[in-house]
Structure 1
Amino acid sequence: MTHEAEAAHRAAAQPIADERTAAEPTAAERAAAEQAASREAADTVLQAFGGVRGMIDITLPGLVFIVAFNITHQVATAAWSALGLSALFVVVRLLKRETIQHAFSGVFGVAIGAWISMKTGKAENFYLPGLLWNVGYCIALAVSALVRWPMIGVMLGPVTGEMFTWRTKNPGRLAAYTKATWAWVAIMGIKPLILFPLYFTHNVNLLGWLKVALGIPPLLLAMYVTWQILLKAPPPIKAEIEEDEEEAEAEK
């Protein structure tokens, strides 16, 4: 091949090479895309735990109970007031066609507490189911992390669209979900450690006000820590992508 032909060949091939180079993302672009995907996944934390409305649904009934009890000094009146508010939350969500998961779980817990407190005549028993649930929740979180099915991953997987690909395809996210789950154990474990001793003192006022005060702040802290952990984790692998790859392999 002459020099002129070789030069012409290189000139003709250059645009194709340029197009390929332009089509392929650079390392910086890939890193930015992964960071954006990780941030998007991390931003689902608040949504998965019911958002601000979900926190209000589980906090306000306890506040109404202690206020009503201080006004009337009647366990039944306070219990029915809290239960009525929880039921109202469910009705409002139904009318707005919103998810009732968090509102319904709230009314269920309030109903049990109301029944126990009215049955025993002891106002502090209104808070007993919530305290026991906190202990059980922390134990479940710890067990899930130990068996490599961290509950935070189980809860967030469907929200992010990755389902359970983080268990087999994304070890970095498995590690992040495990770390986040242990963070929830530590943060949410503070509540029963503080409140259970108060329960046995029968100081209803202090128990009630502290229960309300320790409702939202630990949740927000746990969510923030989870968000920070997931920001640094690899982006999620969408379940649909994995299914498409499996179908392609099967066709081969």
Structure 2
Amino acid sequence: MSDESRSDDLQPPAAAGSPDPARNSASDLLGAALGDAAKRAGLDPASDASTGHVVWRAMGGWRGILEAVLPGVVFILVWTLTYDPGTKQANLPLSLGLSVGLAAVFTIIRLIQHGPAGAAIGGLIATAAAAALALFTGRGQDNFLWGFATNIAYGSAFLVSALIGWSLIGLAVGFLMSEGTAWRRDKRKRRVFFWLAIAWAGLFALRLLIQLPLYFAGDVAALGTVKLIMGLPLFAPLVAVTWLAVRALYPPAPK
């Protein structure tokens, strides 16, 4: 069976018939939200930017990388340095306090400089909530539960969107390229957006597959280290692949 026929099998019946106004309205709103977020991150196919520049902007530059990595590094270092092999315990309050405190410092700096602080504030709230849960249970591995929840949510969203024929990638790109959902009438675009959504779902699934056994084993240091390794180092290449695939579908107009 060809890729085209497999992709066609995955399209909902409405794709072949008359458009559903309610569905189109919902897809337009979702596409606008996703497209706006992608544009703010520098992922605009209409822009004449290099792949490296796009990936760098998507990661937030040096500041974004530091904000994403340093709190986790601090948590792992303090946990490891205070870990007692005899009791199999570490100074959990200190590890969490320094990690959350560093995230708070990054957020305050953004607010003082009047920079885009929405993502930083959201990340700080998530970090603080995860730390509060870990303090409540007294188990360091519970500091990673929020990350598992977000991976499940994002992975499920990408997977479901691909399987029902409304790829989140396609919705975002459709908004950015001012074509709405017209991409669904193009078999090549539908196929590319389907596999891109599957690839993103696979990334989130892979994180869970590798990290959950470490969580249940209670290996906090290894879990934190693996989470960092499977964060930006895997995110960046997939952003690059997504960008190159989309640019192949929408080549920039000749100057």
TM-score where L is the length of structure 1? 0.68
CA contact (8 A) 2:183 2:189 kept: no
Q: CA deviation at 1:49?
A: 5.6
Are the structure 2 counterparts of residues 196 and 236 from structure 1 closer, same or farther at C-alpha, using a change threshold of 3 Å? farther
Residue 137 of structure 1: aligned partner: 154
Aligned to 1:66: 76
- Aligned partner of 2:141 in structure 1 is 124
| Counterparts of 1:149 and 1:232, CA distance in 2 | 20
Runs of at least 5 residues in structure 1 that lack an aligned partner in the other structure: 1-35, 238-252
Which residue identity does 2:177 align to in structure 1?
Answer: E
Residues 45, 156 of structure 1: 8 Å contact kept? no
Task: Quote the Cα distance in structure 2 between the aligned partners of 1:156 and 1:108.
Answer: 29
User: Which structure's CA Rg is the greater one?
Assistant: 1
Structure with the bigger RCO (C-alpha within 8 Å, sep 6+) is 2
The answer on 1:146 being equivalent to 2:146 is no
> Counterparts in 2 of 1:232-243, with a 5 A limit?
232-235=248-251
Matched-pair contact (CA < 8 Å) for 1:65–1:78: yes
Counterpart check, 1:168 vs 2:182: yes
For 1:186 and 1:82, locate their aligned partners in 2 and report how far apart those are by CA, in whole Å. Answer: 29
The percent of aligned pairs where both chains have the same amino acid is 30
Match for residue 233 of structure 2 among 217, 237, 250 = 217
- Show the counterpart of 1:82: 99
Cα distance in 1 between the residues matched to 2:168 and 2:62: 21
Which structure is higher in helix share? Answer: 1
The residue that corresponds to 2:37 in the other structure is none
- The alpha-carbon deviation at position 123 of structure 1 amounts to 0.6
Moved more, 40-49 or 214-223: 40-49
Q: TM-score, normalised by structure 2?
A: 0.67
State whether residues 169 and 197 of structure 2, in contact with CA within 8 Å, keep that contact through their aligned partners in structure 1: yes
1:189-217 CA deviation, whole Å, 9 max, x = no partner?
21111000110000111111111222211
**Structure 1: which amino acid aligns with 2:137?**
T
1:45-93, CA deviations, whole angstroms, 9 ceiling, x for partnerless residues?
A: 6535645533432232121111122233211111111111111111112
Q: Letter of the 1:167 partner, please give it.
A: T
